Amino acid sequence: MRAMIVGLLVCLVSTSAAGADYQRRPLEFHHESYGVRELAELRATYDFGEYVAAGKTELERMFLLQDWVYRRVAYGGARKYVDLRNSLTILEKAGEGEVFWCNNIAAVFMQCAVSLGWTARYAFLRSPEGDAHVTNDIWSNELKKWIMVDATWNLHLERNGEVLSIPEVRDVWHRRGMADLVYIFGAGVDEKRYTVADMPIERTDSKLWHWWPVDEKWISFTHAVAYVMRNDFFSIEGGNGGSIWSDIVTIRDGYDEDDPYWEFAGRPGASNLRELFHDVNRVDVRLVPSYETSAARRKGRAPPEEMRVWFDAFGRNNFTPNLDHFLVQVNGGAWNVSSGDLAFQPRRGVNRILVRAVNKFGVQGPVSSCDIAWMPGATPLPQLPLEAWESEGEAPT
């Protein structure tokens, strides 16, 4: 795969697509917008939507998408397609028997995931020996974290039952703690689980597995990591994502600072992993003083029995791409649609507010909660800090 990187490092001028969902913090990122024509065309042309529908949970559906891409796009290293990142073109040519690099396969997974309303990203990896690889991560609303998915090998990794992110895999590699890793191939009825005792793992359903059987060093690809800070590939350079090279951010944590051969060593780095691995689709609940209440107090009248809260889907370490509306529940009642704030009649004691974001694709984010204590005549007091997740009170799907 070393040859894959040849020809990729042409730095082009970045152009911002009209209508792109532009994230300004914690780091700049360009999200593909819901209305981009190619996303609908991708869903209409190919059957991955039906394929992933077999999953009982969002996580299962994400791994089924990984499995679908693996089975639809064969690995073979066609050099002429090294700069191709348009999944519509790749899938069309794959159906004609053409073979592709890992960077092409990662583009297909990312764009298919985005078309389903998930937030997926494109990541360059490099082993200490200089072998290059391109993979993806995706935000799991179910797990409330980023997880690593590799459609080229059709693998994800778990440790002690937890699905791992790229920095978690990277930490395992640098600490040489591979013994308790589980390598999960595929999804659904074809899922197969491997451990270090099974290595080297060989399979016959891809040339890649024949050329590079998975061994304990497979995770060494995470030695150096660089993220493309956009997934709006359809919206730039004629739909081919050609401007991605000016939007690179690397992980800087001391593991690879002395590596003089890392092609992206001179690019901006994130030493704080929270910048790169922020929350997605989280909703913060903020108490808003009522104007009527404040006016009544100034006039010496009793305040009205009303509490108002505001929902923030764009916090310091959070971003909600393609936000459409919120679902909110107060004190165990019905789930209702909200555009961004809510006024309700508080009860004496603790008032529990559950809320989640819903994007324009209809995908629901995780449930957040805020408990607000209130007594007549007293100032309402939030009981939980902002950015607290809550797992109970799931909204209807």
The pLDDT assigned to 12 comes to 25
Residues 209, 142 share a domain: yes
Residues 372, 309 share a domain: yes
Residue 214 lies in a domain: yes
| Domain boundary residue, one of 226, 258, 277 | 277
CA nearest neighbour of 27 among 348, 287, 280, 389: 280
Number of domains in the chain: 2
Residues 170, 31 share a domain: yes
Residue 294 lies in a domain: yes
Residues 151, 85 share a domain: yes
CA nearest neighbour of 296 among 286, 304, 284: 304
The pLDDT assigned to 396 comes to 45
Residues 362, 258 share a domain: no
Residue 393 CA: distances (Å) to CA of 80, 330, 366, 367: 51, 10, 10, 8
Residue 395 lies in a domain: no
Return the structure tokens found at 393.
Answer: 């009170």
Please give the chain's pLDDT, 397 residues, in tens: 433 332 332 222 223 344 469 999 999 999 999 999 999 999 999 999 999 999 999 999 999 999 999 999 999 977 888 889 999 999 999 999 999 999 999 999 999 999 999 999 999 999 988 899 999 999 999 999 999 999 999 999 999 999 999 999 999 998 888 889 999 999 999 999 999 999 999 999 999 998 999 999 999 999 999 999 999 999 987 776 666 777 899 998 777 666 677 888 888 888 889 999 999 999 998 887 654 445 554 455 444 567 889 999 998 899 999 999 999 999 999 999 999 999 988 888 899 999 999 999 999 999 998 888 888 766 676 655 445 554 344 444 4
Residues 291, 245 share a domain: no
Residues 298, 243 share a domain: no
φ, ψ of residue 213 to 5 degrees: the values are -55, 145
Residues 175, 190 share a domain: yes
Residue 206 lies in a domain: yes
- Domain extent, residue 253, equals 2-277
Residue 389 lies in a domain: no
pTM, two decimals, is: 0.89
Residues 332, 366 share a domain: yes
Residue 72 lies in a domain: yes
Report the alpha-carbon angle 145-111-261, nearest 5. Answer: 75
Residue 310's domain is classified under what CATH number? 2.60.40.10
Residues 221, 165 share a domain: yes
| CA–CA gap between residue 241 and residue 58 (Å, rounded) | 27
| Domain boundary residue, one of 242, 277, 312 | 277
| Domain boundary residue, one of 247, 277, 307 | 277
- β-pair partners for 326: 338, 357
Cα 197 from chain centroid? 31
Residues 347, 253 share a domain: no
The pLDDT assigned to 290 comes to 58
Residues 371, 252 share a domain: no
